[in-house]
Structure 1
């Protein structure tokens, strides 16, 4: 890939163990029994979108579906509510991953905001169709928090792949 000057540095290949471990840690953080408010960000959705953008061949719609089913079972919600939401997130993230990676991280956060908003709207629609209670307008805050966390998640999850900057005359990369 041709990179412009000042663009991000080259990254080492991602470790599959680290990638899956980060997804499992995000799942476990979502499962912490601290009470789930409507405005609470969905960290698992955030990590699924991140890996779907950065490693679309390894984390696909199937993994998003399985993690969604696990969240449905854990929260005792309608089976398929999170699964549909996460598969939609994974699909759209894979669709835009080539274009998204050309932008700086702050611009990426603005571009993934609609993905998170659609995800929460899908969960809300399924909850309401199933006869659930409207959680309130604070639900609109969750996608904003998730988009605001995008730069932090990008720094944390790309940290193991950062290459030490040691260019010399024989190895400019």
Structure 2
């Protein structure tokens, strides 16, 4: 049987506390007041997509909606703007969750790029429909930066699952 690259090494189950910790850290990174520019990548979106692909039963559309409302309240944006974008993003990630692990990290980044583009386009359309200002053409760079963060996020967030289940003196890892 031909095995996908991700199945070459069996992963330990993801710890729910680690998933919650990474989502909260990503939320806090997005809430840092650093003169927000339109091209800044949305770290929470990357982490939501990652867990939507790797743990779709634990992190689904409901959690994406809740985190989206929290970002909307924090940013003072239209209530539901990020919630709608994150929900669509999470739905897209869940639909890709069986296919994506078959590819290399670079190919995965290319395949999640349309998800990030669609999420940003949806947020901009909602913003413009309620009379908001155009954020500028630099908003087109944010999905590219988020897709570029995908391999980094994959390596960092899968690292705790790649350790040996029972360590001993004869096993180096």
TM over 0.5: yes
Question: Which contiguous aligned blocks of 4+ residues in structure 1 show a shift greater than 3 angstroms?
Answer: 4-8, 163-166
* 1:27–1:5 distance in 2 versus 1, CA, 3 Å: closer
Aligned residue runs from structure 1 range 102-141, under 5 A: 102-141=102-141
Write the distance in 2 (CA, Å) between the matches of 1:84 and 1:129: 14
Match of 1:20 in 2: 20
Write the distance in 2 (CA, Å) between the matches of 1:122 and 1:146: 16
* 1:124–1:10 distance in 2 versus 1, CA, 3 Å: same
Match of 2:170 in 1: none
Match of 1:158 in 2: 158
Provide the aligned C-alpha RMSD in A: 1.9
* 1:64–1:4 distance in 2 versus 1, CA, 3 Å: closer
**TM-score w.r.t. length of structure 2:** 0.91
- 1:86 has 2:86 as partner: yes
Tell me if the contact between 1:68 and 1:86 (Cα under 8 Å) persists in the aligned partners. Answer: yes
**TM-score w.r.t. length of structure 1:** 0.91
User: Aligned-pair distance for 1:93?
Assistant: 0.5
Match of 2:99 in 1: 99
> Where does the alignment leave 5 or more consecutive residues of structure 1 unmatched?
167-173
CA deviation profile, 1:40-98 (whole Å, cap 9, x unmatched): 00000000000000000000100000000000000000000000000000001101110
* 1:3–1:140 distance in 2 versus 1, CA, 3 Å: same
> Where does the alignment leave 5 or more consecutive residues of structure 2 unmatched?
167-173
Aligned length: 166
